[in-house]
Amino acid sequence: MFQTAASLCVPQTFHSPSIFGLQTVSIQASVVSSNVTVDIPPGGIVGQAATNVTNLSFCNVSVATTHPGWGDLINTEVWLPLRGWNERIQMTGGGGLATGLMAPNFAMIGAVKDDYVAVGTDGGHDSDDPGSWGLASPGNVNLYKLLDYSTPALHEAIVIGKAITNDFYGRHASFSYFVGCSTGGRQGLMYAQDFPQDFDGIIAAAPGINYNRAILQLFYPLIRLKDYGTIPAPCELTALTAAAVEECDPKDNVTDGIISAPELCTFDPFSLVGHRINCSGVESEISYAAAFAANETWSVTVENSTTLWLGLGHQADLSGLVNTTCDNSGHCVGVPFSPLTQWLTYFVEKDPAYDWNQFTVQDMSAFLNGPDNKLYDGFLATNSLNLAPFAQAGGKMITYHGLADQYIPTNVSRIYYDNLLELDPDAAHYYRYYQVPGVGHCSGGAGPVPIDTIDKLVNWVEHGVAPDVLEGQSSPNAQGLVYNRPICVYPGRAVYKGQGDVTQAGNWECK
């Protein structure tokens, strides 16, 4: 464990990293030692448990860089523990349309707390709203900044992080790790596919594979509902999800509020049309529009050999992609997930004044088969199955994906992994995939969330112990129960042994 004098935390300690085509604008360094105390909630750190951080101190190095001629300014931060460095680097990913350095920065705080050097980058974007950076002018995408978001700024950040680490401690890190979910998951896969030497281990949870296609396809359920013409109240959709869980939860022979055998779930939302429900104290009923919305969200849709939608699980919160709101008169409208409207506005229509209500399924299909999408595919799809260089470099990667993900269909990860296994039947030697029942996007939901993923990855990379299971733990449910359960490597699933407390992991086994 290394200790370093705080007096070294000055700009003069650090050198401009030599990266062809990249120019260093400035290097700033300062000690953060103001007794940083943070309660990191469940899901605040990808694949880890909630934790409390106290008395954190580190050297914060901020490196500003630019690609001459691109008109960009990228900020990369490197947080260096002043004492107890474990000789490892951990880079953290972004989310939505943010490349990284998201506030509050639980991921980097957690990494330093665990004695890692933490690295993050904003990709040249001071906002996750592309209204400030997406267009060079109306009708013209700022492709340089979109490139920064997708690839080069990310690779450069870890090169910078490694160089700054060497300057500070006088030696290179022994191992480097990347941790991300959603956009961060896509970033993790990008590193494995395009820069296989950058990291020894990668966690790429719920990744946005085929990103430029997938983010537009997430519009599909709400567009179908809009075109249907009647928008249901949120409580109707909530009632349908609850009914689906009630019917499908016991199909794994345990009633615990978690759909663990989704392939056995055949719940029909139309069977509840007209069913009376309570909507915020007002008696109402489930409409055909609500059943239509749920069915469109749960069903896979293929038209003219083009997959328009891969479908969410029955336990997914429908308010994620079919969010609706109603006024006092009972008139309801759809409210899209904000990254979707941002992508549609700036990177599809390229018009800040565009109204998403104009967008149709036909428009979606035309874009998916059009020239702009082919252009974006080149640097955003992140769907290459060639992981051989990553494997040859000794890299190891873990992906987990919640079966109740309300934004990215679990099928996205499953199809990618199935295709990889078809190409390379030995892929599990370097890449493992886990489906997590009852868990939402990255975290949340009724199911047990992975809480030991980084530890399992480190053990795999550094000691050769491949993880057959991850440790899962849920948040307390309405009855105060916390479910502890093994999360089994795909295609396995945790099965109750038939006796003992169902909340205890030891009473479950992978089959």
pLDDT at 252: 94
Whether residue 347 sits in one domain with residue 437: no
Whether residue 405 sits in one domain with residue 353: no
pLDDT at 38: 86
Q: For all residues of the chain together, what is the average pLDDT?
A: 94
Q: How far is CA 436 from CA 350, 399, 474, 493, in A?
A: 37, 11, 11, 9
Displacement of CA 210 from its chain's centroid (Å): 13
Measured CA to CA, the distance from residue 224 to residue 295 in angstroms comes to 11
- Residue 304 or 275, more confident: 275
74 belongs to a structural domain: yes
Q: Which of 175-184, 231-240, 368-377 has the lowest mean pLDDT?
A: 368-377
pLDDT of 1 > 60? The answer is no
In this prediction, residues 27-53 reach a mean pLDDT of: 86
Q: What CATH number is attached to the domain comprising 109?
A: 3.40.50.1820
Q: Is the CB of residue 9 less than 8 Å from the CB of residue 30?
A: yes
Residue identified by tokens 């990291």 is 199
DSSP state of 489: B
Measured CA to CA, the distance from residue 109 to residue 226 in angstroms comes to 42
Q: Is the CB of residue 141 less than 8 Å from the CB of residue 350?
A: yes
CB atoms within 10 A of CB 477: 14
Question: Which pair of tokens denotes residue 79?
Answer: 């947080």
Q: Is the peptide bond before 352 cis (omega within 30 degrees of 0)?
A: no
156 belongs to a structural domain: yes
Q: Is the peptide bond before 207 cis (omega within 30 degrees of 0)?
A: no
State the residue range of the domain holding 437. Answer: 1-210+378-455
pLDDT at 2: 64
511 belongs to a structural domain: no
Question: Which pair of tokens denotes residue 493?
Answer: 């699933």
Q: Is the peptide bond before 491 cis (omega within 30 degrees of 0)?
A: yes
The number of C-alpha atoms within 13 Å of 65 and in the hemisphere containing its C-beta is: 29
Measured CA to CA, the distance from residue 337 to residue 360 in angstroms comes to 16
pLDDT at 55: 84
Burial of 68 (0-12, 13-18, 19+ CB in 10 A): exposed
Whether residue 233 sits in one domain with residue 201: no
Give the model confidence (pLDDT) of 438-462 as tens digits: 999 999 999 999 999 999 999 999 9
Whether residue 74 sits in one domain with residue 185: yes
Give the model confidence (pLDDT) of 260-272 as tens digits: 999 999 999 999 9
Give the model confidence (pLDDT) of 162-215 as tens digits: 999 999 999 999 999 999 999 999 999 999 999 999 999 999 999 999 998 888
500 belongs to a structural domain: no
Question: Which pair of tokens denotes residue 436?
Answer: 């997590």
64 belongs to a structural domain: yes
478 belongs to a structural domain: no
* The amino acid at 297: T
440 belongs to a structural domain: yes
Displacement of CA 503 from its chain's centroid (Å): 27
Which helix (H) or strand (E) segment holds residue 3: the answer is strand 2-3
Residue that terminates a domain, selected from 376, 409, 425: 376
pLDDT at 44: 85
Give the model confidence (pLDDT) of 90-139 as tens digits: 999 999 999 998 888 899 999 999 999 999 999 998 777 899 899 999 99
Residue that terminates a domain, selected from 344, 376, 408: 376
20 belongs to a structural domain: yes
Whether residue 131 sits in one domain with residue 102: yes
When pLDDT is cut at 50, 70 and 90, the band that residue 510 belongs to is very high
Total count of domains within the chain: 2
Whether residue 157 sits in one domain with residue 15: yes
Q: Is the CB of residue 219 less than 8 Å from the CB of residue 226?
A: no
Measured CA to CA, the distance from residue 295 to residue 471 in angstroms comes to 33
In the chain, DSSP finds a helix count (H) and a strand count (E) of 14, 24
Whether residue 418 sits in one domain with residue 272: no
Give the model confidence (pLDDT) of 491-503 as tens digits: 999 999 999 999 9
